Structure formats: C-alpha cells, structure tokens
Amino acid sequence: MDTVKLKIKHRPFCFSVKGHVKMLRLALTAASMTFFIIAQAPEPYIVITGFEVTVIFFFIILYILRLDRLMKWLFWPLLDIINSLVTTVFMLIVAVLALIPETTTLTVVGGLF
C-alpha cells in the first residue's frame, strides 16, 4: 500500500517571527552605525557595529536562501545563540563607552540604539 506524504508548507523567512526579529536587529544596528558615522565617533565603534551589520545581513541571506536546510551538518540554533551572545557583549561595551560624558549627542544616540 502506498503511503501519502504530506508536504509541510514552510512559512517564508521574511514573514516568520525569527525573520522579523533579525530584520529589526539589523535595522537597529545599522541605525547605530549611521549615528556613529555621522558623529565621527572613534573608529572601533564604527568597525564593531559595521561587523555586526555584516554578520546579521549574512544570517538573513542564509535563511532567506534556505541554506540552513542544505547544510544540516551545522547546528544553526547554536550558531544563532553564540552570535547573539557575542553581539550582546560587543554592543554593551560599545554602548557603555559611547555614553562616557565626553561624547557628542549623536554618539550617545548611537550608543542608545
């Protein structure tokens, strides 16, 4: 007897909760980098936020192209968690350093983002 396999319809990444969170994270990090560039903040602030924007962008592209389904030998949730933890540490350091009193208003706004 033939068994019928139902194909589960996957929700596109852009319309999932995970997609919305990653896009919001990308927007906030890009806004922070923009404020740092406009304020002519020290280079490490711009480099760290630029690096984070690049990493977030590549994760979004990876999930949109469904490459996580092709590369099953990597445990993607663990990579997401490690990426989030590293991002949190770097961005907290940048935010604290940006809020030191001898900074411009735009640098403070970038640190708050």
The answer for residues whose C-beta is within 8 angstroms of residue 32's C-beta and 6 or more apart is: 49, 91, 110, 111, 113
| Predicted model pTM | 0.72
CB 50 within 8 A of CB 33: yes
Tens-digit pLDDT profile for residues 27-77: 988 998 898 888 888 888 888 889 889 988 988 888 888 877 788 787 778
Overall average pLDDT of the 69-90 stretch: 82
Of residues 106 and 89, more confidently modeled: 89
Question: How do the domains of the chain map onto residue ranges?
Answer: 22-65, 72-112
**Contacts of 51-56 spanning 24+ positions with Cβ under 8 A:** 52/87, 52/90, 52/91, 53/26, 53/29, 55/83, 55/87, 56/22, 56/25, 56/26, 56/29, 56/87
